[in-house]
Amino acid sequence: MSDNPSLALDGQAPAPPGPLPMHNESGSKWMIIVFLEWFGDLGIFSWRVLRAAFTPPFEFGELYRQLDEIGSKSLPLVALAGAAIGAVLAMESMESMTRFGARSLLPSALVYSVVHEIGPIITALVVSGRVGAGIGAELASMKVTEQIDAIEASAVNPYRLLAATRILACIVMLPLLTLASDLCGLVMGWVALALAEPLSFHQFITSGFRGSDFSDLLPPTFKTAIFGLIIGTVSCFQGMRTRGGAAGVGRAATSSVVLSSLFVILADVVLVKLIIIFFP
């Protein structure tokens, strides 16, 4: 582990372990060491970002740029994904619910599925793919071309300028994108149902939200702020610890998407359980 406050979080770290040892026991030890080292570095990185985020000077200009980059520019993709999932869900559910004589529950089932689970997780995974790869590749490229060192040499804290702004933008934009995705999913779900049988949007919404109120929407929507935290943190971390030129940039982009998607899915399991406990 580096003793350096600078970005040589990895630049100064001991050389990475060599090829995976063939012996099973040694291989397991190696994996455990790499695993623990990764989490240790992530912890140090997160602490530096947290400290930088709450001390002036604040980088409002860069934050605004990232809100646009992460939020506005993800909107079309998220809306399209939400709309497609809403339509597919409606078409798939229609037949099975009719078979079980529960066709009247179709709007409720659709609203519940989209708002509680499908909307948030699809939004998070789409943003993880688009934004995670973008952040990972951009920061990795800056790292290997010494641009991050140049920022630091200019007496600017890169954790504040590059990481805190991107993570905060992800935290703020994920719930908003989720609302957009939910809306598009519900509208297209209604369209799919209305094409099969006459159903006004008002009837669909009234029937869909029967038995639930506005407060039911909040936990599943705001849990995506946690997804945003995960996507932003993992992507910035993977980008800023990159080594190894163009190949390193590619690895950073890929690992940003893979790891942030994986942690989002794992976090979802925990968050759903917590929501069930605290918002029954």
Partner 1 sequence: MTTIADIPIKAEALHSSNVPAIAVENVYKSFGSQRVLNGVSLTVGRGETLAVLGSSGSGKSVLLRLIIGLQSPDSGSVRIQGNDIAGLSLDQLGVYREKMGFLFQHAALYDSLTLEQNVAFPLLHHSRNMSASDLSDRVLQLLKEVGMEGHLDKMPADISGGMKKRVGLARALALDPEILLLDEPTAGLDPISSSEIDDLVLKLQAEHHMASIVVTHDLHSAKTIADRLILLHGGKVAVEGTFQDLQNSHDDFAREFLKHS
Binding site for partner 1 (CB under 8 A): 2-8, 11-12, 14-15, 48, 52, 55-57, 141-142, 145-147, 149-157, 159
Nearer to partner 1, 26 or 145 (CB): 145
> CA–CA distance from 203 to each of 16, 108, 206 (Å)?
61, 11, 5
Assigned token pair, 202? 């008002």
With left for phi above 0 and alpha for psi between -120 and 50, is residue 101 left, alpha or beta?
left
**DSSP per-residue codes, the chain:** ----SSSHHHHTSPPPP-SPPSSHHHHHHHHHHHHHHHHHHHHHHHHHHHHHHTSSSP-HHHHHHHIIIIIGGGHHHHHHHHHHHHHHHHHHHHHHHHHTT-GGGHHHHHHHHIIIIIHHHHHHHHHIIIIIHHHHHHHHHHHHTTHHHHHHHTT--HIIIIIIHHHHHHHHHHHHHHHHHHHHHHHHHHHHHHHHS---HHHHHHHHTTT--HHHHHHHHHHHHHHHHHHHHHHHHHHHT--SHHHHHHHHHHHHHHHHHHHHHHHHHHHHHHHHHH--
Nearer to partner 1, 88 or 151 (CB): 151
Nearer to partner 1, 18 or 280 (CB): 18
Q: How far is the CB of 36 from partner 1 (least distance, A)?
A: 19
Q: What's the rounded Cα separation, in Å, for the pair 239 and 233?
A: 10
Q: How far is the CB of 57 from partner 1 (least distance, A)?
A: 6
Q: How far is the CB of 62 from partner 1 (least distance, A)?
A: 10
Nearer to partner 1, 156 or 276 (CB): 156
Q: How far is the CB of 168 from partner 1 (least distance, A)?
A: 18
Q: How far is the CB of 245 from partner 1 (least distance, A)?
A: 12
Nearer to partner 1, 5 or 27 (CB): 5
Q: How far is the CB of 61 from partner 1 (least distance, A)?
A: 8
Nearer to partner 1, 98 or 145 (CB): 145
Q: How far is the CB of 35 from partner 1 (least distance, A)?
A: 20
Nearer to partner 1, 152 or 268 (CB): 152
Nearer to partner 1, 29 or 51 (CB): 51
Q: How far is the CB of 1 from partner 1 (least distance, A)?
A: 12
Cis peptide before 57 (omega within 30 of 0): yes
